[in-house]
Amino acid sequence: MSLSRTLKQFCFIGFTFLITAGAAFATGPEPWQMNFQPAVTPVMQETNDFHMLLLWIITAIAAFVLLLMIYVFIRFNARANPEPQQFSHNTLLEVIWTAVPILILVLIAIPSLRLLFLQDVIPEADFTIKTTGYQWYWGYEYPDHGIGEYFANMVPEEALAEGQPRLLATDNPVVVPVGATVRLLVTAGDVLHNWAMPPFGIKMDAVPGRMNETWFQALEEGTYYGQCSELCGQLHAFMPIEVRVVSQREFNTWVRAQGGTVLAQAETIDVAAQDTAQD
């Protein structure tokens, strides 16, 4: 294969990669998908944007280094350049190749720190959900609604309903209203687990005897799936996480069905939504 053909193919693959990287995908992961699945929360949206920024930077650096190497191979090989130069220092060049990487790192550090604080600083939450990892299922509690702990087990393959994904669907999903800011407390009852929800940008360790804290604000209705992401034993792969993001009204109905109390501010939303529906 000629060099120019290889180069052309390389450019084609790189270009296709960058084009597909920016395209939007359907809900959830897709076979042969590149990059992250669609973001549902502001944190994941920012994470995705940051990932795309890094992808452009890293592609530019890799292309620059590759072209530089090709140039050196052709211009300075023993045949093309039989008598090499003997100097070994160039102050200007050395300043440039020190300063430019520093500038690139600073450029990366600013959005990186902003994202870190966005994830870490929990905004004023509408309510709290507490999740506990067990071998091998998850427990969920809605303390503000007075809903005691219930358990979410994986739906076995033979019991899957139409549209339920294998190894990801649970019998008692987490239900949250769309747009609500939820504070999530994460702990474990036996060994280390990890509550990971890719479309929300969450991967939080569940540690026995310790309460970790994170948050999310799901902006699109739908059913989203995640998995335990900390090796926790024999059935580690079989304790999925299912979150249903529903309208405030549906959420209020669900809360009542669980024997919980609808929060005062949500009651207003509930009534307002009913009024709109009746009009």
Residue with Cβ nearer Cu ion (101 or 233): 233
Residue with Cβ nearer Cu ion (63 or 211): 211
Q: Which positions from 221 to 250 touch Cu ion by CB under 5 A, shown as an x/- string? A: -------x---x------------------
Report which of 135, 113, 250, 241 is spatially closest to residue 184, judged by C-alpha positions: 241
Angle at 21 between CA 198 and CA 246, to 5 degrees: 35
User: Least separation, in Å, of the C-beta of 63 and Cu ion?
Assistant: 41
Question: What are the strands of the beta sheet with 147-152, ordered from one edge?
Answer: 147-152, 137-142, 127-134, 181-188, 212-217
Residue with Cβ nearer Cu ion (183 or 193): 193
Identify the residue among 145, 183, 193, 249 touching Cu ion (CB under 5 A): 193
186 binds Cu ion (CB under 5 A): no
**Interaction residues for Cu ion, span 60-99 (CB under 5 A):** none
Residue with Cβ nearer Cu ion (133 or 199): 133
User: Least separation, in Å, of the C-beta of 235 and Cu ion?
Assistant: 8
User: Least separation, in Å, of the C-beta of 238 and Cu ion?
Assistant: 9
The three-state (H, E, C) secondary structure of the chain, written as one string: CCHHHHHHHHHHHHHHHHHHHHCCCCCCCCCCCCCCCCCCCHHHHHHHHHHHHHHHHHHHHHHHHHHHHHHHHHHCCCCCCCCCCCCCCCHHHHHHHHHHHHHHHHHHHHHHHHHHHHHHCCCCCCEEEEEEEECCEEEEEEHHHCEEEEEECECCHHHCCCCCCCCCCECCCEEEECCCEEEEEEEECCCCEEEEEHHHCEEEEECECCCEEEEEECCCCEEEEEEECCCCCCCHHHCCEEEEEECHHHHHHHHHHCCCCCCHHHHHHHHHHHHHHHC
User: Least separation, in Å, of the C-beta of 169 and Cu ion?
Assistant: 17
User: Least separation, in Å, of the C-beta of 186 and Cu ion?
Assistant: 12
Q: Which positions from 140 to 179 touch Cu ion by CB under 5 A, shown as an x/- string? A: ----------------------------------------
Residue with Cβ nearer Cu ion (146 or 208): 208
129 binds Cu ion (CB under 5 A): no
Number of residues that bind Cu ion (CB under 5 A): 3
Residue with Cβ nearer Cu ion (193 or 249): 193
Which range touches Cu ion (CB under 5 A), out of 17-25, 45-53, 80-88, 187-195?
A: 187-195
Residue with Cβ nearer Cu ion (50 or 150): 150
> Footprint of Cu ion on this chain (CB under 5 A)?
193, 228, 232
